[in-house]
Amino acid sequence: MSTPHKNQSDLRIATAVQLYQTEELSLAKAASLAGVSWEQMKAILLAQGIQPRLGPTTIAEAEVQALRAYFTGQAATNNTCDA
């Protein structure tokens, strides 16, 4: 038997996953909405076959990403910013 709390938690996670997939939320914001840690959200996504979008891990990667965006006229993909 499901409890109302469990159903609400499942709904929050499902909503967070959907918004993450449509790129409306970053991983951190999806985790916050779901009420779980960043690492837990990452595991939830992986369990559902969704590869997390992770930003650059070094300053050099960030610089390359920013330069590519600048020269192609596109905004840099940055998962720490949300719409």
Cα 2 from Cα 76, distance rounded (Å): 43
The whole-model pTM stands at: 0.63
Is the four-CA dihedral 40, 41, 46, 48 of positive or negative sign?
Answer: positive
The pLDDT of residue 68: 87
8 alpha-carbon distance from chain centroid: 20
pLDDT, one tens digit per residue, over 38-79 is 999 999 999 999 999 877 778 888 888 888 888 887 654 444
Cα 53 from Cα 25, distance rounded (Å): 11
Cα 18 from Cα 60, distance rounded (Å): 31
Cα 23 from Cα 62, distance rounded (Å): 20
The pLDDT of residue 74: 61
pLDDT, one tens digit per residue, over 7-43 is 889 999 999 999 999 989 989 999 999 999 999 999 9
